[in-house]
Amino acid sequence: YDHGFVAATISDASIERKEDSLVITFDVSEGDEYSFGAITVQGDLIDESPEETLDGISAETGEIFNASYLRSDSFVISDKFSDIGYAFANVTPETKINRTNQTVDVLFSSQKGAPAYIRRIDITGNDKTLDNVIRREFVIQEGELYSGRKVKRSKALLERLGYFEEVNFNTEPVPNSDQVDIDVGVREGSTGTFSMGAGYSTSDGVLFNTRVSENNILGTGRQVNMNVDVGTERNNIILSVYDRRVADTYWSSGVDLFRTDREFRDFDRSLTGAGFTVGYPLEQFFEGIWAEDIDFSLKYEYVDSEISDVDPEDAAPLVIRSEGSSRASGLTPKFTRNTINNPLNPTAGSRQSISLEMTGLGGNEDYYLADFRNQWYYPLLSGDWGDLVFAWRFRASYGESYDDDDFPLFRRFFPGGINSIRGYKARTMGPTDENGNEYGGSKQLINNFEMIFPLIEDAGLRGVVFFDAGEAFDDDQDIQFGDLRKAYGFGLRWGSPLGPLRLEFGFPLDEINGDDGMVTLFSFGAPIL
């Protein structure tokens, strides 16, 4: 029936014994293939319009008949009534088969019932998280007209917090009234970690790590993170505090302090600084679905940079000119849209951000840096065995000094490695001088295409195949898609109890002198920042 064969018949089974087995045979006659004929609706209508009521359904006149559409389209129509307060609208499909022209007419009968108002919203299961932290995520309140769309969005916002392993909304009618109660049940998950250990990655060498993080301090929804890395090629001390709903308002704020030391091939870089960020969701300023999931933030950051251990006989001229200390102070406005379903193991949704860092508020570095990032996850198949997910990550960055000075070395881009273009060693891509010495680009494009599939779902073991393309470009170079360097490969990912493990093998497609034919990429334990 889902493929248009509404007149298909199946004969009684015939059974034949063969040695130690039985053969059961069914004779199937498909008959003629039928298409959708007239699709109409009667009864209560959305805005008194049949067209508006039927808008968005899957059934379409002339297309192959699909019986499963009748049920799903009934829900589409009833959801429209639910969105405007009719919580228990009833929609039933009726069919009429026209054998002369092999079509099936469909008539949807709709009864919206009485409008429903929310009497009470009850929350259970939150042993740690405070009630107000949950309620402030609701876009529907007690006493309001019921809205199915708002209920679904409230559920999605709770799931996106990452505090709960399970969130359920159940709507129950109040007897002998026009009211409903909404029961919200949550099952809390772990929100804090404390770990000490050692790790290794091909990008950063041996790393000893201590991490303390809590995303829901005392059930208030505030976050604190401290990370200390001590390694052969990188040292980090990072402390951040974030409140996503200051005093239960829609304002967010965050403070971060950091010191990072990293070794490059021709120089060492140390960054010391602090930042303060405030944010606000656009949907509180503007009406419409387009504003949902979009946040605006403004960050002030001060960075003290030190470039050292430069070999004047074997380094690019820009690196030699950059040796010493410099200071940058500026503002970064940023827009972020986020619909990712699970921040820890995303399988659906997307996240986009666009920002513009502008320095010059003190310090001696004057530049701007525009940055656009995209993450997109699309589930191709899903089942008890896990999810087959297509993922695309894209980043485009463009920086330039206000005057004729070089774009500062501490902000320049050095692609390559496990979190960039796999198939090339870490921080080995980008422009070089005539002697092959890297000095980084002021602009870059990065593309990562992945197919992620489960291997042992219960153990958190997944496989991945990927294709990457990207490059960094110098100040006076135009970004050319034909100049992007490409790589492909495969790997394993495991969410182990000791931390995330990635083992990936990258193969360059645009080798130049010094590139290996295969790059093994490995990270374990400490996060790659």
Looking at residue 107, which CATH number applies to its domain? 3.10.20.310
In a domain, 3, yes or no: no
Mean pLDDT of 207-228: 87
Query: Which residues, 6 or more positions from 500, have their beta carbon under 8 angstroms from its beta carbon?
Result: 493, 494, 523, 524, 527
What's the domain count of the chain?
3
Residue 204: pLDDT band (50, 70, 90) is low
Task: Give the whole-angstrom CA distance, residue 340 versus residue 374.
Answer: 11
Residue 286: pLDDT band (50, 70, 90) is confident
- Percentage of the residues of the chain whose pLDDT score is greater than 70: 95
- Percentage of the residues of the chain whose pLDDT score is greater than 90: 62
Residue 314: pLDDT band (50, 70, 90) is confident
Task: Give the whole-angstrom CA distance, residue 497 versus residue 434.
Answer: 47
Task: Give the whole-angstrom CA distance, residue 504 versus residue 16.
Answer: 53
Same domain, 231 and 279: yes
Mean pLDDT of 73-87: 94
Which of 171, 175, 164, 177 lies closest to 148, judged by CA? Answer: 171
Same domain, 170 and 304: no
Task: Give the distance between the most distant pair of CA atoms in the chain.
Answer: 91
Domain edge (last residue) among 156, 188, 220: 188
pLDDT at 499: 56
Angle at CA of residue 336, ends 331 and 339, nearest 5°: 165
Q: Who has greater pLDDT, 512 or 174?
A: 174
Domain edge (last residue) among 142, 157, 188: 188
- Inter-CA distances, 419 with 103, 397, 470, 523, Å: 54, 16, 12, 10
Same domain, 462 and 519: yes
Which of 133, 120, 141, 244 lies closest to 188, judged by CA? Answer: 133
Same domain, 90 and 124: no
Q: Do 347 and 309 meet the contact criterion of CB atoms below 8 Å apart?
A: no
In a domain, 235, yes or no: yes
pLDDT at 525: 47
pLDDT at 15: 84
pLDDT at 514 over 80: no
Mean pLDDT of 230-258: 92
Q: Who has greater pLDDT, 139 or 428?
A: 139
pLDDT at 528: 33
Same domain, 337 and 355: yes
pLDDT at 475: 87
Residue 201: pLDDT band (50, 70, 90) is low
Give pLDDT tens digits for 404-452: 888 999 999 999 888 899 988 878 888 988 888 889 999 999 999 999 9
What rounded mean pLDDT belongs to the chain?
89
Q: Which residue is associated with the tokens 């039985």?
A: 22
Among 147-151, 362-366, 381-385, which is the least confidently predicted range?
Answer: 381-385
Q: Who has greater pLDDT, 518 or 364?
A: 364
Q: Who has greater pLDDT, 285 or 121?
A: 121
pLDDT at 189: 83
Which domain covers residue 162, as residue numbers?
A: 117-188
pLDDT at 526: 39
CATH number of the domain where residue 298 is located:
2.40.160.50
In a domain, 1, yes or no: no
Same domain, 143 and 276: no
Which of 186, 184, 301, 328 lies closest to 240, judged by CA? Answer: 301
pLDDT at 21 over 90: no
Q: Who has greater pLDDT, 205 or 116?
A: 116
In a domain, 489, yes or no: yes
In a domain, 2, yes or no: no
Same domain, 142 and 279: no
Same domain, 46 and 144: no
Mean pLDDT of 91-118: 94
Among 170-174, 189-193, 411-415, 523-527, which is the least confidently predicted range?
Answer: 523-527
Domain edge (last residue) among 72, 88, 111: 111
Query: Which residues, 6 or more positions from 309, have their beta carbon under 8 angstroms from its beta carbon?
Result: 267, 268
Same domain, 73 and 88: yes
In a domain, 271, yes or no: yes
172: which DSSP letter?
E
The backbone torsions φ and ψ at residue 310, rounded to the nearest 5 degrees and listed phi first, read: -95, 130
In a domain, 155, yes or no: yes
The pTM of this model reads 0.81
Task: Give the whole-angstrom CA distance, residue 395 versus residue 352.
Answer: 10
Task: Give the whole-angstrom CA distance, residue 483 versus residue 342.
Answer: 35
Q: Which two tokens stand for residue 522?
A: 């490995």
pLDDT at 208: 78
Q: 272 burial class (0-12, 13-18, 19+ CB within 10 angstroms)?
A: middle
pLDDT at 529 over 50: no
Same domain, 383 and 460: yes
Same domain, 339 and 458: yes
Which of 184, 160, 180 lies closest to 172, judged by CA? Answer: 180
In a domain, 122, yes or no: yes
Same domain, 232 and 123: no
